[in-house]
Amino acid sequence: MTIPQFHQIAWLPDQAGVRILDQTLLPREERRLDVTTIEQMAEAIRTLRVRGAPLIGIAAAMGSTIAASNGLVSFLEACDTLEATRPTAVNLMWALRRMRERARRAAGAGQELRAAVIAEADAIWTEDRTLCGAIGRAGLHLVTDGATVLTHCNAGALATGGIGTALAPVYLAQAAGRKVRVIAGETRPLLQGSRLTAWELTRAGIPVTVITDSMAASRLRQGDVSCVIVGADRIAANGDVANKIGTYGVALAAREHGVPFYVAAPYSTFDAATMHGAAIPIEERAPGEVREFHGHPSAPADVPVWNPAFDMTPAALIAGYVTDRGLLTAKELGRLG
């Protein structure tokens, strides 16, 4: 098996912009968009054309360079615009903080500034590929031959610059010749599990079964799930985790049925400045995402909707954190700071 490469992001020729895989169109269409303005990149992140905590950090870093030719002030304003697109995933803030720091250290303006920030964006992208590999190796022993892994949302290659976070151990297990299968929760309301996780695993030749979110507890009750591995959008200092809405329910069901629940993420997702999960800002998205399904009404047009994009899973429900620094407990997360 070859580790998957989906070309989810790339530089345009002469690094004049960024080419992204439009993930809102998957699985029915594989189309790439050329992003050449800050407004286009902000829209792509906001509307989930590019998504996944690590990947939006990479995309924002690469996209911010578009403004560098206009000088430092323009570049910093671009970073502010991109940072405001999504409030929960800390990788976005982390990457843009790195970009601002590198820009301020640049010796000159114009082309010198542009070269400096392009190099930093490249470094962030390259580092993420390395971190994904390290996460895969740290969690490889969790995915034994014959294992069934349940996951929620998409924390695979489509969500990162490399082979993913939660799916990285799965890909390495398959590459090592182990038989492994995945159960993917569909992840309402935008179906990142059924649209994206199932798409990339199928492309990689890994058996995957899609279930609705409401089926997760019943499937865990059957006793054939070896472990649950999910990604993260932010990990608080005490180990509480913000991840795609529905993760908390899966964690509760896993605890009830004695199935270990793991969170896979790079050090850039750890937020030492946020002490606990209640302090993590949770993005609320448009009601139409719930009132409609594939453009067709699925609820009365005027019915109130509560649509948080993420929920918080307390550290007490998490068996371990699969990181680029190894498999850690909540008390060991300080190593990531």
Burial status of residue 136 (CB atoms within 10 A of its CB: 0-12, 13-18, 19 or more):
buried
- The CA distances from residue 131 to 38, 168, 187, 232, 323, in Å, are 27, 10, 25, 14, 8
21 Cβ partners below 8 Å, 6+ apart? 6, 7, 8, 9, 30, 31, 32, 50, 158
Helix (H) or strand (E) holding 63: helix 53-64
Is 271 an active-site residue?
Answer: no
Task: Take residue 31 and report the two structure tokens written for it.
Answer: 């189309």
Which of the following is catalytic: 128, 233, 271, 311? 233
Pull the structure tokens for residue 167.
Answer: 């799916």
CA 234 to chain centre: 10
Length of the chain: 337
**CA distance linking residue 316 with residue 184, whole number of Å:** 23
Closest by CA position to 154, among listed 146, 163, 145? 163
Residues designated as active site: 233
